[in-house]
Amino acid sequence: MTSRDAYPSPVSNLARGPLTAQVHLRAGGVSVVLDVSEGRIPLVTHWGADLGELSAQDAAQLTEIAASPIPQNAPDVPLRVGLLPQLSDGWLGRPGLAGSRPDGSGWAPRLVTTSVRLTDASTGETREASTADGAGSAEPSAAQAGAAPAGAAAPAAPQLLQSGAGTAVFSLFAEEAGLEVELTLELLASGILRTRAAVTNTAALAYALTDLTPALPVPLRAEEILDFAGRWTKERTPQRSRMGVGVHLRENRRGRTGPDSAHLLHLGTPGFDFEHGEIWAVHTAFSGNHRHYAERVSSGFQVIGGGELLQPGEVRLARGESVESPWLYGAYSPAGLDPIARSFHSLLRAREGHVDTARPVTLNVWEAVYFDHDLDRLTDLADRAAELGVERFVLDDGWFGGRRDDYAGLGDWVVSADVWPEGLTPLIEHVTGLGMQFGLWFEPEMVNMDSDVAREHPEWVMGPSLAALPVESRHQQVLNLSIPEAYAHVRDQMMAVLDANDIAYIKWDQNRDLIEAATRATGAAATHEQTLAAYRLMEELKQAHPGLEIEACASGGARVDLGVLEHTDRVWVSDCIDPLERQQMNRWTSQLLPFELMGSHIASGRSHTTGRLHTLGFRAASALFGHLGIEWDLAQATETELAELRAWVEYYKQRRELIFTGALHRSGGEDDPIWLTGVVAPEQDAALYELACVQRVGVAPHGRLRLPGLDPARRYRLTPRVLGERPTGLVWPAWAREDHTAASDRVAAPHTEPAALTGGVEMSGAVLSLAGIALPLIDPETAVLLEVRAID
């Protein structure tokens, strides 16, 4: 919460007459048009395909033609569903703003818009529409007319504010409720829309806020829902359903994003896939309790929205205090899921301070040594890693306090003298001397009751009261960072470790849900403040140590959202590195995040979380499309495996520029045996595709495979690629072999190549992307690569 010592009163503006204006933003093939008619709450009259330049009359008429007829037994004015839906507009669904005062008032505020400012992102120019300026070229229509505030002047002519990418800020006031609201809506160059709301209490009585959730309209033709579920080691599992009257509500009360988070909530035309269907999607950029929802009402309107889920009493605004919702991101696509993913990737790649494309190959030691920290063993592991071309070495859990297992030590961020009598310096100097960066694991928000800090300050542990604690999870509790002294303890101990050592990277873990997350001294819920404190701590550490990278890890992939990525540099997709499971999890994590932000490691031969055995080729190919790393005790690898692993590391280094700048293209449904994942260079002069067989089906997957994203007018060389051991059951079609005529070579004995692979076959982009190529035969849980280069 923040406090405003002085806040403008819009009452004088109301006396000049209610505001009537339209706003039109255009970017990334998307148009957003908003209407403010006679001071009513901003209404999105269009969010979808680019409408081109509009006149003031066009924009005003759009509001008129979008107004629904008034049915029998309904309010006598057209229903208006604003950015913050409210009862006073006739909306009987979820309100966007909800709360109350101790006397029960303020629960249904009636917001009036008093001004709108539009800032053009390219020029920085700001224009403002207000009740003092009646300029405009169109008269208010009958559909725009509504009840003006008592005593207000006659309606002003509509004004049109128009730009490309830009930001519109609407000032609203609910006089009787004593609330000010500032609504911000921004259309970014990528075509991504984002909006948020800030509310200020202007009255003497405190205001207990219970909901601040913006919503965006979606046409009724969008009637199929895609969002995600999951659990630990199985994050981002897709689920589809049909939209009906009522609410599709995904609430998360874990105090973190969660392995079962909605991730993105899509609403689209039936049967949409990666390349087909009109889709609208939203994502709530917040790492604490949050919600996503879609709602359809019987009067024929539907919205999608999202925001923070507030616990009772978490936000109480005294006079002059404010609170702001997290960003709600929205994306529109006329042609399937991939354009939505590419829009989010463009957004993130354009952000200030985004990671560069030389993402260092990382070795994390957790699955190699667990808690067994031995200097000789770790330096040997570092030697082996450096010889393979690894560029970052990360020491995981177990280096601090009494942390010899997961029962003790969390919260004591001091290098253990028992395990590291000379400190971390010998290992760090060895690692950096080999030319690698050094990274270190922390879990700053957590605490074991068997720790010095918990013994000295049990009141810092979250819980419902001083007499009770929540159930333990992974033998740990949550340290309440909303208590200034607890925050300072963690910050100062972490700063001391970073100040004393050459540490380039933090793996920031968070291994349990926040259950009964309250300040024990008062019993007041504290998830909201805990989340903001975690963000603040990340920023303090990065400001004090420029260049420090932070990975968001939370029992693997339970903290993957655009809120935490305002403060971090990658996410750990999952604690499960089984390549078959990662095919699904990486596939859908990339619906929001580009590959350079997704930790994707080559696992040991037998998965530590599933027990499955996979070839190195499948493990490496499944990890290639991501920020590549290794999670494997290299001392147990054979020389043959090390040679193949070295080849994969080198292959990644040669192609990471393409992988981290290219446009994502995918094909293959959840029930299909072959999944395609590809990236196409911005200039469309190169592409890299992976074909992965994820299951065996009754009918062999013959037929053709299209390679999307290529320029139909250019000519390309297509080259099949297998690194290391040939996948079992692999039979290449004729186009991939030197001998294009030997039909007898179409079947080969296992583990033998039927004919030498070609150095590439030349054909047009139209053939590759529209007609397609014959698929190779490959066994389940194997993968091959296809390289494409322009030859013109």
- For the beta carbon of residue 5, count every other beta carbon within 10 angstroms: 5
pLDDT beyond 90 at 608: yes
Name the active-site residue from 89, 211, 227, 575: 575
Task: Return the pLDDT at 607.
Answer: 95
Using alpha carbons only, what angle is made at residue 690 by residues 685 and 695, rounded to the nearest 5 degrees?
155
Q: Mean pLDDT throughout 155-161? A: 71
Active-site residue, 672 included = no
Task: Return the pLDDT at 477.
Answer: 98
Q: For residue range 230-275, what is the model confidence (pLDDT) as tens digits?
A: 999 999 999 999 999 999 999 999 999 999 999 999 999 999 999 9
Q: Does residue 606 contact residue 577 with C-beta atoms inside 8 Å?
A: no
Task: Return the pLDDT at 2.
Answer: 56
- Cβ-based neighbours of 273, under 8 Å, separated by 6 or more: 336, 337, 669
Q: Mean pLDDT throughout 548-575? A: 98
Q: Which of 59-73, 410-424, 663-677, 709-723 has the lowest mean pLDDT?
A: 59-73
- For the beta carbon of residue 358, count every other beta carbon within 10 angstroms: 11
Q: Does residue 137 contact residue 56 with C-beta atoms inside 8 Å?
A: yes
pLDDT beyond 70 at 7: no
H/E element, 462: none
pLDDT beyond 70 at 555: yes
Residue that wins the pLDDT comparison between 509 and 157? 509
pLDDT beyond 70 at 361: yes
Q: Would you place residue 4 in the very low, low, confident or very high pLDDT band (cuts 50, 70, 90)?
A: very low
Active-site residue, 509 included = yes
DSSP 40: P
Mean pLDDT value across the chain: 91
Task: Return the pLDDT at 68.
Answer: 80
Q: Does residue 478 contact residue 542 with C-beta atoms inside 8 Å?
A: no
Name the active-site residue from 509, 561, 569, 578: 509
Spatial CA neighbour of 216 closest among 274, 266, 141, 261: 266
- Cβ-based neighbours of 201, under 8 Å, separated by 6 or more: 178, 179, 207, 317, 318, 319, 320, 321, 322
Numbered ranges of CATH 2.70.98.60 in the chain: 7-68+79-349
pLDDT beyond 90 at 674: yes
Pairing assessment for the beta strands 30-36 and 43-49 based on DSSP bridges: antiparallel
Numbered ranges of CATH 2.60.40.1180 in the chain: 664-790
Task: Return the pLDDT at 275.
Answer: 97
pLDDT beyond 80 at 147: no
Fold of 664-790: Immunoglobulin-like (2.60.40)
Q: Would you place residue 699 in the very low, low, confident or very high pLDDT band (cuts 50, 70, 90)?
A: low
Task: Return the pLDDT at 131.
Answer: 67
CATH class of the structural domain 7-68+79-349:
mainly beta
Q: Mean pLDDT throughout 62-85? A: 85
Pairing assessment for the beta strands 166-174 and 179-187 based on DSSP bridges: antiparallel
pLDDT beyond 90 at 434: yes
pLDDT beyond 50 at 139: no
Q: Which of 7-16, 527-536, 557-566, 651-660 has the lowest mean pLDDT?
A: 7-16
Spatial CA neighbour of 675 closest among 618, 743, 735, 597: 618
Residue that wins the pLDDT comparison between 463 and 736? 463
Q: Does residue 616 contact residue 605 with C-beta atoms inside 8 Å?
A: yes
- Cβ-based neighbours of 730, under 8 Å, separated by 6 or more: 722, 776, 777, 778, 779, 782, 784
User: What is 344-385 written as a DSSP string?
Assistant: HHHHHHTSTT---S-PPPEEE-HHHHTT---HHHHHHHHHHH
pLDDT beyond 90 at 703: no
The rounded percent of the chain whose pLDDT value lies above 90 is 84
